[in-house]
Amino acid sequence: MTLINVELPKLGETVEEGTITRWFKQVGDTVTVDELLYEISTEKVDAEVPSPVTGTIIELKVAEGETIPVGTVLAVVEGELAGVTPEAAGPKAQAQISDDPPQSSRETPTKPNADVTSTRSNQSTKRRDTQSITNDRRLLSPVVRRLIKEHGLELAGFQGSGRGGRITRNDVLKVIDERHRDGRETSSSQPSIETKPRTSGESNYVAFNSIRRATAGHMARSAHSSPHAMTVMEVDYENVEKVRSAHRETWRAEHGFSLTYLPFVMRAVVEALEEWPYLNASVEDEGLSVHTDINIGVAVDLNHEGLIVPVVRQADGLRLEALAQAVNNLASGARNRRLSLDDISGGTFTISNNGAFGTYTTAAIINQPQVAVLSTDGVTRRPVVVTDRFGNESITVHSVGHLAMAWDHRAFDGSYAAGFLTTIKRAIETRDWEVEL
Catalytic residues: 409, 413
Q: Are 39 and 24 in contact (CB under 8 A)?
A: yes
Distance between CA 32 and CA 95 in Å, rounded? 19
Residues 32-54 as b or e (16 or more Cβ within 10 Å = b) = ebbebbbbbbbbbbbbbbbbbbb
The neighbour count for residue 361, using CB atoms within 10 Å, is 15
Per the rule left: phi > 0, alpha: psi between -120 and 50, beta: everything else, 251 is alpha
**160 within 8 A of 166, measured Cβ to Cβ:** yes
C-alpha 95/C-alpha 90 separation (Å) is: 11
Report which of 17, 38, 18, 20 is spatially closest to residue 29, judged by C-alpha positions. Answer: 38
H-assigned helices in 48-206: 89-92, 114-119, 121-131, 142-150, 169-181
Please list the alpha-helical segments (H only) found in 189-319: 210-225, 238-255, 262-275
What is the Cα–Cα distance from 182 to 225, expressed in whole angstroms? 50
Interior CA angle at 338 toward 49 and 85, to 5°? 25
CA distance linking residue 376 with residue 129, whole number of Å: 40
Assess whether the previous peptide bond of 52 is cis (omega < 30° from 0): no
Pairing of strands 94-95, 46-50: antiparallel
DSSP 365: -
CB-CB contact of 72 with 18 (8 Å): no
Is 311 in a helix, a strand, or coil? strand
Q: Please answer whether residues 349 and 279 qualify as being in contact, where contact means their C-beta atoms are separated by less than 8 angstroms.
A: yes
Element (H, E) at 200: none
Do residues 44 and 212 make contact, with C-beta atoms less than 8 angstroms apart? Answer: no
